[in-house]
Amino acid sequence: MIQLDTSFLIRALLPDSAEANRFRQWLEERESVRISALAWAEFQCGPVSSNVIAVAERLLGEPVPFAGPEAALSAKLFNEAGRRRGTLVDCMIAATAIVSEESLATSNPKDFARFEKFGLAIAT
């Protein structure tokens, strides 16, 4: 199973992007592709049209929830990965993928590489 981060989803909706091609391949392979509630909220902050949101919603289904275990792990990631300003949402997205034991597809692998030592698998 694969979770998408916001940057990957945005680019996956652009025709002929590398992300669109990879996303299409996963769907053809019947790979389960989802998105965390946090990345979904971030995506909907747009700018994005209601039609695009509806398409993404049909493709991805119900977002993966964020609850206690994800909150605790995201705090650990934030504290142990350098307490960088503006990175809490990345920590939360990474924690959701780790707790769900799913890979994370991102267009910004450098932003998430610091979480690999905590069990994050970055989808390629």
Instruction: Give Cβ neighbours of residue 32 (< 8 Å, ≥ 6 apart).
Output: 1, 2
User: What pLDDT is stored for residue 124 in this prediction?
Assistant: 80
For the chain, which domains are there? 2-118 (3.40.50.1010)
Residue 78 in contact with residue 71, Cβ under 8 Å?
Answer: no
Distance CA 119, CA 54 (A): 32
Query: Which tens digits make up the pLDDT trace of 49-95?
Result: 999 999 999 999 999 999 999 999 999 999 998 888 889 999 999 99
Are 107 and 6 in contact by the 8 Å Cβ rule? The answer is: no
**pLDDT for residue 82:** 85
Closest CA to 124 of 13, 7, 39, 26: 26
The pLDDT score that the predictor gives to residue 43 is 96
Phi first, then psi, for residue 36 (nearest 5°) are -75, 155
> What does the pLDDT read at residue 81?
87
Identify the three-state secondary structure at position 51.
helix
Mean pLDDT of the chain: 95
pLDDT tier for residue 40 given thresholds of 50, 70 and 90: very high
